[in-house]
């Protein structure tokens, strides 16, 4: 099973559901529809209405983040995993570089993963190196630290997906070459096996994925899907990514 996950970031109003309607319409008639899963993470403001609209359809809805406490607290503007699950979301992103840059520590991220799993959310855990770490050949050590400091063997690996998003690639149009991405994907899966022993979680790629470069990723069998940013805000681009992957 492949994953095509759209991260809308700070985008979307109620009428933006038309984007998902078009994606859902395409998927319902796509001969490859049983080979992949579509997940969209809109802003918190849209989660409940999107969940209700697609309850009996094939698009899953998730959140872009969650707070590192279980249910309720006195933290202004915080949204807990319990609250997210209560409105019907089934997934949440954790550890996106945007949130890491705003202060998310490994300890905070570990709690987010723990409480998300406890509240029956599937976690899309994001990792990635910055430009300096890449330049200084610290990609592998950075990814190993990010994985081992947060993910624990007692976590339910069946409900965890890892998304590799090199920070230097996000929104830049630059992507790793095939050889480097293959090596990195293999490295991530090796680290995950040291944590979970057998059958490591799925590993996705994210960072400037679009309908024009998706062909390159198809050649790398170790990649189990994609976390898609800007292109997911356009039904045509998102659909073309899926079409071009399976053509």
3-class DSSP state for residue 8? coil
Residue 165 bears catalytic tag: yes
Closest by CA position to 78, among listed 44, 55, 52: 44
CB 91 within 8 A of CB 121: yes
Q: Of the listed 48, 154, 165, 211, which one is catalytic?
A: 165
CB 102 within 8 A of CB 57: no
Q: Of the listed 96, 129, 187, 211, which one is catalytic?
A: 96
CB hemisphere CA count around 246 (13 angstroms): 17
Other C-beta atoms closer than 10 Å to the C-beta of 173 total 11
CB 213 within 8 A of CB 240: no
Rounded Cα distance, 74 and 63, in Å: 21
CB 45 within 8 A of CB 11: no
Catalytic positions are: 96, 165
């Amino acid at each position: 099973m492949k994953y095509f996950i759209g991260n809308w970031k700070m985008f979307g109003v109620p009428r933006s559901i038309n984007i998902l309607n078009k994606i859902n319409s395409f998927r319902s008639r796509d001969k490859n529809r049983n080979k992949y899963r579509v997940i969209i993470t809109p802003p918190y403001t849209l989660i409940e209405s999107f969940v209700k609209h697609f309850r009996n359809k094939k698009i899953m809805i998730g959140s872009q983040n969650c707070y590192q406490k279980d249910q309720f607290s006195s933290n202004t503007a915080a949204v807990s995993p319990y609250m997210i699950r209560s409105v019907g979301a089934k997934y949440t992103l954790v550890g996106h570089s945007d949130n890491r840059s705003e202060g998310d520590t490994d300890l905070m991220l570990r709690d987010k993963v723990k409480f998300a799993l406890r509240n029956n959310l599937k976690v899309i855990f994001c990792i990635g190196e910055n430009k300096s770490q890449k330049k200084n050949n610290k990609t592998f050590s950075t990814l190993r630290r990010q994985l081992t400091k947060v993910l624990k063997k007692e976590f339910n690996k069946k409900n965890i997906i890892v998304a590799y998003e090199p920070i230097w690639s996000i929104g830049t149009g630059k992507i790793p070459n095939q050889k480097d991405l293959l090596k990195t994907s293999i490295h991530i899966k090796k680290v995950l096996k040291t944590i979970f022993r057998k059958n490591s979680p799925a590993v996705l790629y994210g960072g400037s994925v679009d309908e024009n470069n998706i062909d390159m990723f198809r050649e790398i069998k170790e990649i189990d899907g994609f976390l898609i940013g800007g292109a997911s805000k356009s039904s045509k681009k998102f659909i073309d990514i899926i079409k071009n992957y399976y053509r």
